[in-house]
Amino acid sequence: MSELNEHRASRLHGLWAMTNRELKKWYKAPVIFTLSIVQPIIWMGLLGKAMNIGALFGGSSFTQSIMSPSIVAQFENVLANYGMPAANIPGFLANSNGISSVFSGLGNVVLLKFFNTTSYFSFMAVGVIAFTALFTTAFSGMSVVWDRRLGFLNKALSTPVSRGVIIFSKVLSATFRSMFQAGIVILIAILFGLQFGAAFNPVYVLGVFAILFLICVGLSSMFIAITIRSTRIETPMAVMNLITLPLMFASNAFFPTSIMPDWLKTVASYNPMTYATDAVRQLLIYNTIDWRNVGTDFAYVGIFAVVVATIGILLSWRYLSK
């Protein structure tokens, strides 16, 4: 037992072990694991179905709420008085269904123009995927603080495991968790009626996970980098509260940037969430995929991930030990 430690491993040794340590806290705890599956379902239901803005533009909303049969009849009378029988208007059959289909067509044009898809739910579903990725990674800063407070961090620092690995294992575990949850979100979205775009190919799902991987690595590195020195659990929580919602709403996740005010549009155009969400939308639900945009999305999010992860690792060399 007095032999020297003869195993001098690579710079990356311990990465999987430490990542798996974090993951075990999740998949070995039934309650937490179940909640992490239920949570996306709730968000999907609330954001995608309950707050269905798309319905405002759909034909059914016009017929049900505005176009009562009597109004339709009056409308037809008015048209007839001006010598324009309703039957002459394209698509206008002489009943309320006709009107409905016109408005429905109009609604689809609006949806297509602003949301790039006729299915508002599909638009939102992708937003929820981004939302899931953001909120799951936002917690990654907390575990660094816990490890510091409970002494595990000091123990890890006294072993030859590299400082970068300590931090990157946190990044990776948060990334795996959010990718898993995003996968669940996609499955649930399909069950709830996500409409794939005409250009969709099942292989693109790999692309979706690739961009999610990049954005999650970037985001969790960012949250860890911000809280790397803090010793109080309140700090990462405050940071989370401060950053997540602005990051969410100053992006195209829930709302198309084309109808944002200019200043917000500018902010959104720097927000990596915008690019990640755009890539997922292009790959999943758009009828025509603009590959050049997808390329830009990947490049932007990729650079974001590499830069922030590098900053995180550099900070870990400097600030993990005092």
Partner 1 sequence: MSEEIIKAEGLTKVFNHSLVAVDHVNFEIKRGEIYGFLGPNGAGKTTTINMLITILKPTEGKASVLGYDILKQNNDVRNVIGVVPQEYTADEDLTGLENILLCADMYGIPRKVAKERAVDLLKLVELTEFKDKRVETFSGGMRRRLELACGLINRPKVLFLDEPTLGLDVQTRTATWNYIRTLKKEFGMTLFMTTHYLEEADTLCDRVAIIDHGKIVVVGTPEDLKHSLGGDIITIGIKEDVDVSELISKVENVKEVKKENGTYRIKAEYGEITAPLIIETLREKGYTVAKLSLTEPTLNEVYLEYTGKSLRDAEESREAFASQRMTMRRARA
d(CA 245, CA 51): 18
Residues composing the chain: 322
What is the per-residue DSSP string for 25-56?
HHHT-HHHHHHHHHHHHHHIIIIIIIT-THHH
Binding mask 26-55 for partner 1 (x = CB under 8 A): --xx--------------------------
**Residue count, binding to partner 1 (CB under 8 A):** 34
* Among 83, 90, 151, 202, interactor with partner 1 by CB under 8 A: 151
- φ, ψ dihedrals at 254, nearest 5°: -110, -10
Contact in structure between 32 and 26 (CB atoms under 8 Å)? yes
Select from 143, 200, 203, 190 the least CA-distant residue to 167.
143
* Contact call for residue 8 and partner 1 (CB under 8 A): yes
* Contact call for residue 234 and partner 1 (CB under 8 A): no
Shortest distance (Å) from residue 169 CB to partner 1: 10
Q: What count of other Cβ atoms lies within 10 Å of the Cβ of residue 40?
A: 24
Shortest distance (Å) from residue 13 CB to partner 1: 4
Candidate ranges 38-46, 146-154, 251-259, 293-301; the one touching partner 1 (CB under 8 A): 146-154
Candidate ranges 6-14, 48-56, 204-212, 262-270; the one touching partner 1 (CB under 8 A): 6-14
d(CA 98, CA 106): 12
- Dihedral, CA of residue 43, residue 48, residue 53 and residue 59, to nearest 10: -160
| Crossing angle of the two packed helices 291-319 and 272-284, in degrees rounded to 10 | 140
Q: Kindly tell me which of 105 and 160 has the beta carbon lying closer to partner 1.
A: 160
Task: Please enumerate in sequence order all residues whose Cβ is within 8 A of that of 7, keeping only pairs 6 or more positions apart, or say none.
Answer: none
End-to-end C-alpha distance for the chain, whole angstroms: 32
232's tokens? 């109080």
* Contact call for residue 292 and partner 1 (CB under 8 A): no
* Among 34, 64, 201, 321, interactor with partner 1 by CB under 8 A: 321
Shortest distance (Å) from residue 142 CB to partner 1: 11
Shortest distance (Å) from residue 52 CB to partner 1: 40
Shortest distance (Å) from residue 20 CB to partner 1: 8
Shortest distance (Å) from residue 306 CB to partner 1: 25
* Contact call for residue 4 and partner 1 (CB under 8 A): yes
Q: Which residue has the tokens 């990465």?
A: 15
Q: Kindly tell me which of 17 and 46 has the beta carbon lying closer to partner 1.
A: 17
* Among 89, 94, 102, 157, interactor with partner 1 by CB under 8 A: 157
* Among 68, 159, 201, 288, interactor with partner 1 by CB under 8 A: 159
Q: What count of other Cβ atoms lies within 10 Å of the Cβ of residue 150?
A: 10
Shortest distance (Å) from residue 32 CB to partner 1: 10
* Contact call for residue 174 and partner 1 (CB under 8 A): no
Binding site for partner 1 (CB under 8 A): 1-5, 7-10, 13-14, 16-18, 21, 24-25, 28-29, 146, 149-152, 154-161, 321-322
